[in-house]
Structure 1
Amino acid sequence: MRTLKNSPKNTALSNRTIEVRAVSAQVILQVFDQGKSLSALIPDIQHQLKAQDLPLLQEICFGICRVLPRLEWIIRLLVDKPLKGKTRIVHCLLLVGLYQLLYTRIPAHAAINEVVNATKVLKCEGFRGLINGVLRRFLREQNTILAVVDKHWQTNHPEWLVNKLKKTYPNWRDIVEANNQKPPMWIRVNPQYCTAKDYQQRLLAETDLVSFADNHPHALRLAHPIAVQHLPHFSDGWLTVQDLHAQWSAILLGGQNGELILDACAAPGGKTTHILELAPQAKVVALDVEQNRLKRVEQNLARLQQQALVICGDARQPTQWLPEIAKSILGKQTAVQFDRILLDAPCSATGVIRRHPDIKWLRQETDIPQLVQLQQQILTALWTTLKPNGTLLYATCSVLAEENSQQIMDFLAKNDNAKLEKLPFEQADEQIGMQFLPTENGGDGFYYAKLRKVAK
């Protein structure tokens, strides 16, 4: 991205690029200092940018979160006094500048100039000299500095998380490396319209976009990410963007036409729509505790031209929302019991770090016991709403045993009417559920356990 001096026709370009760096620094500051997530921040501020600038904002913000410790170490070597308090925005501008120099193809002079110029937008012009000096010194001494920084292999993960991975997985380094990569883009082909193989051929014929199949009936991986509007028939409901391992949810649940099915913690609705793709005549309830996130569920249902009852409610308190289901679906005030329940439980999200790298710095070790307790409360409450011989599929996007296999072992020990069902994957007889781990060209970290309610 080049900026030409004294050229009026390039003024707009210059203003846009300055704003991208300034906005990027502001976003990063809110992530690290206020604990806000990128998935919440970027949609709120993207209207400040032109559409063509959004990819750069995302690249910078997500990228910094991926490699934060490496960038922080460089700053410690080059800045004598830590930038704290009101000068934290300057620290974030340095992160933006260093990320561009190391990880993007933006010419070095343009990257530095635009970050320096961003001080005017952010009202910290007194630090122009510091930022310019630090970034130019890094360029001059880059090899020497990186030799010090990269002398030992870095996990780019918080220590507490690495320690947990070490205790559970002999191949913990592979998980860390996978987390530090950019994620592949997976799509789910709607079998109501065509097969994955047919859509794969259509992609090649209409867009020259290469895709790769997996051992999954509906999944395709794209050779590179692409805006959804460029995918044939996306707006018509032919496909949905969804990770490979998340796509097992509806298949393992095994919903049938005519059944009453609850998708608990349903937002943003990818699993709800998949259930309806496989069982269009099922009576599906999409439940989530956050009203604003349910808008995404409704949008996805509308795009795929599907019907479901969307309810805002706390999964721990079924008595608060079951009457609405009785009235809306059953047409009378009666006891509601589900044939099947999909519980994609709130979790640490440690399996989707490569998609949401800010999780590494937002999540704290003290959060895990609280999440485990919340999962246990939801699981116990929803179990009471399941029919005898009904099925509950427990799922998380976590790789931590406390939230997954240990959670299910504890539940089985406390509920003698719960039986663990086998899953259609290769696994040891004593294995509790199925733990998927993130891999470079595969799916994210995901866990499944299928429980049947034994009739007494």
Structure 2
Amino acid sequence: MGSTSQPMRAIAAEVLLAVEGGQSLSQCLPPALNRLALNERPALQALCYGTSRWFHRLEGELSGRLKKPLRKPDRVVHHLMLVALFQLRFSQQASYAVLNETVEACRALDKPHLTGLVNGVLRAAEREGAPEPADDPARFSHPMWMVEKLRHNWPDNWQRILEANNAQAPMTLRVNALRFSREQYLALLAEAGIEASPTRFAPHGIQLASPVPVDRLPWFADGAASVQDEAAQLCTTLLDLAPGQRVLDACAAPGGKTCAILESRADLSDVVAIDESAARLPRVQENLDRLDLTASLLQADAAATEQWWDGTPFDRILLDVPCSASGVIRRHPDIKLLRRESDIVPLAAIQLGLLDAMWSILKPGGRLVYATCSVFPQENHRIIQRFRKQQENAILVEPAVPWGLDMGAGRQLLPDANSHDGFFYAVLEKPEP
């Protein structure tokens, strides 16, 4: 697509207005990127992600600088000023360019009557510098409910979690073990001038010193490696895969874990990947195709087994449940704007329902790995505790692994600013009759 006459900051303001209205960046950013020339797209993405990451801090400053809130029809200009404040506070952009171009963007948004306000607010912001944030949401740049919940759940770690959430996540790869050893791929990266090191816990993981476009990665298009966080890669180490097993990846999109399962064992009898979202399943197929792997894909609600299950039990089930995604905020900063505290209880009900359903199709002697990208105990070890009260025969397996905090019913990884995301895993086995 070609360039558009609308300035990039104006487009960023429209994207953030859509996020405020409940759309995720992954929904509303792609069509916005298509309005720009290819070389401009990374800058728009950086603006939208950066403003979302620091939204609560920027919002605290902006509301302090406005005598009264803007009218609803002018709300897009509020977001335009947030984008400009993000650039003033967190980017290398020259201040005069930020001010001039933001005023131009205000005109492009058809709000010429607000150019004086925008100019005055931003000149004062540039002159006076960033204020000391007065309250927790602004200081930590998270919604208040999240700060309080983390403080309550993790009294010793909550500030570290908040800091990690505000850091930019590293780029981590999973080497396709069917093609290369990790050492071989590290050598290929070194030849390509890409600095990288092995991950601490995931056996096929490599962390890059700084992100690069995937087309710079050696043999990427031919399936040599995939982009996947280290914590998400650990699922294959817990599944205890063996030849001839029938494996289910429930809630599979976008397919990173399905592919990891297939890469770790070429001799499984059958891998079934299901996801409720018809829109997301093509991504799973694209990943499989690039890696030259095969799985049976089904669009279905995993919990409604009567609608899709063929009656043959599974030896292994990976259940990566829908969750608050509170462990991957650094990758998806819009979660801070989209998630509500009231989401957690309904999510926990879905998680428990899925666990029940999957247990019914697990073969006796089989193993189920429960996973979330959450740091909230309500979605994690407390779900496992609740489930084991209902299913007293469920055997909790405590894997001998060097990572995560032992929660008594599973292991919790907290987000680490310099390595993995926040993740939870629990391993359950069904006894033989």
Q: TM-score range, shorter-chain basis?
A: over 0.9
Tell me what 2:107 maps to.
120
Return the match for 2:253 from 267, 272, 277.
Answer: 267
Tell me what 1:228 maps to.
214
The answer to whether the aligner puts 1:218 opposite 2:204 as a matched pair is yes
| Alpha-carbon offset, residue 147 of structure 1 | 4.2
Deviations, residues 387-408 of structure 1 (Å, cap 9, x unaligned): 0000100000000001000000
The CA RMSD over aligned residues, in Å, is 1.9
Deviations, residues 194-248 of structure 1 (Å, cap 9, x unaligned): 1112211211112x11101122310111011111011001001010000011000
Partners of 2:348 and 2:211 lie apart in 1 by 34
Does the 8 Å contact 1:433/1:450 carry over to 2?
yes
Return the match for 2:180 from 164, 176, 194.
Answer: 194
Secondary structure in 1 matching 2:323 = coil
Secondary structure in 2 matching 1:105 = coil
Secondary structure in 1 matching 2:30 = helix
Distance 1:413 1:286, change over 3 A: same
Deviations, residues 122-147 of structure 1 (Å, cap 9, x unaligned): 111211111112111211222xx524
Equivalent positions of 1:306-385 (< 5 A) are 306-323=293-310, 335-385=311-361
The answer to whether the aligner puts 1:415 opposite 2:391 as a matched pair is yes
Tell me what 1:93 maps to.
80
Tell me what 2:64 maps to.
77
Tell me what 1:431 maps to.
408
Return the match for 1:304 from 291, 294, 312.
Answer: 291
Does the 8 Å contact 2:161/2:415 carry over to 1?
yes
| Alpha-carbon offset, residue 76 of structure 1 | 2.0
Equivalent positions of 1:14-163 (< 5 A) are 19-32=7-20, 34-142=21-129, 145-147=130-132, 154-163=139-148
Distance 1:19 1:281, change over 3 A: farther
Q: What residue identity is the alignment partner of 1:263?
A: D
Deviations, residues 74-96 of structure 1 (Å, cap 9, x unaligned): 21222111113101011011001
Deviations, residues 146-178 of structure 1 (Å, cap 9, x unaligned): 246599981111121122211221111111111
Secondary structure in 1 matching 2:426 = strand
Equivalent positions of 1:171-186 (< 5 A) are 171-186=157-172
Partners of 2:132 and 2:292 lie apart in 1 by 56
Does the 8 Å contact 2:56/2:137 carry over to 1?
no
Secondary structure in 1 matching 2:309 = helix
Partners of 1:21 and 1:113 lie apart in 2 by 11
Partners of 2:111 and 2:276 lie apart in 1 by 41
Partners of 1:398 and 1:418 lie apart in 2 by 23
Q: What residue identity is the alignment partner of 1:447?
A: F
Tell me what 2:233 maps to.
247
Return the match for 2:419 from 442, 447, 455.
Answer: 442
Tell me what 1:329 maps to.
none
Partners of 1:271 and 1:52 lie apart in 2 by 32
Partners of 1:187 and 1:41 lie apart in 2 by 26
Secondary structure in 2 matching 1:392 = strand
Distance 1:147 1:158, change over 3 A: closer
Tell me what 2:382 maps to.
406
Secondary structure in 2 matching 1:187 = strand
Distance 1:131 1:429, change over 3 A: closer
Partners of 2:246 and 2:266 lie apart in 1 by 12
Tell me what 1:280 maps to.
266
Question: So what's the TM-score if we normalise by structure 1?
Answer: 0.90
| Alpha-carbon offset, residue 109 of structure 1 | 1.4
- Where structure 1 has 5 or more consecutive residues not aligned to the other structure, the ranges are 1-11, 324-334
Tell me what 1:5 maps to.
none
Partners of 2:133 and 2:33 lie apart in 1 by 37
Secondary structure in 2 matching 1:395 = strand
Secondary structure in 2 matching 1:154 = helix
| Alpha-carbon offset, residue 431 of structure 1 | 2.0
Partners of 1:60 and 1:369 lie apart in 2 by 33
Partners of 2:329 and 2:307 lie apart in 1 by 34
Question: What is the aligned length?
Answer: 428
Secondary structure in 1 matching 2:125 = helix
Secondary structure in 1 matching 2:102 = helix
Distance 1:429 1:349, change over 3 A: closer
Partners of 2:406 and 2:422 lie apart in 1 by 21
Deviations, residues 402-433 of structure 1 (Å, cap 9, x unaligned): 10000001111110221011212247877211
Does the 8 Å contact 2:59/2:138 carry over to 1?
no
Partners of 1:387 and 1:76 lie apart in 2 by 57
Partners of 2:145 and 2:42 lie apart in 1 by 31
Distance 1:433 1:77, change over 3 A: same
Question: So what's the TM-score if we normalise by structure 2?
Answer: 0.95
